[in-house]
Amino acid sequence: MQLLAIGLTYAEIAGRLHLSVKTVESHVSAVLTKLGAPNRREAVHRARDLRILLDRPVI
């Protein structure tokens, strides 16, 4: 979520975490579903509201 919050693309996240882009897409899709969010931006907003995500990224 931290990497989504700072606006990284799937490819950038995959590179940082040493995962495939498809794996990142799959995990983000699961997060969107669990949070009931229609898109990445809304998922970040909801994660902050639920205090799942810190206001300041730790990278």
Sequence spans of domains, the chain: 2-49
Residue 56 confidence (pLDDT):
65
Dihedrals φ, ψ of 38, to 5°? -80, -20
Residue where the block lists tokens 């975490």:
17
Residue 35 confidence (pLDDT):
96
**29, burial (CB in 10 Å: exposed 0-12, middle 13-18, buried 19+):** exposed
What are the pLDDT tens digits along the chain (59 aa)?
999 999 999 999 999 999 999 999 999 999 999 999 999 999 999 999 999 987 765 55
Assessment of whether the complete model's pTM goes beyond 0.75: yes
How is residue 23 written in tokens?
């794996």
CATH class of the structural domain 2-49: mainly alpha
| Amino acid residing at 12 | E
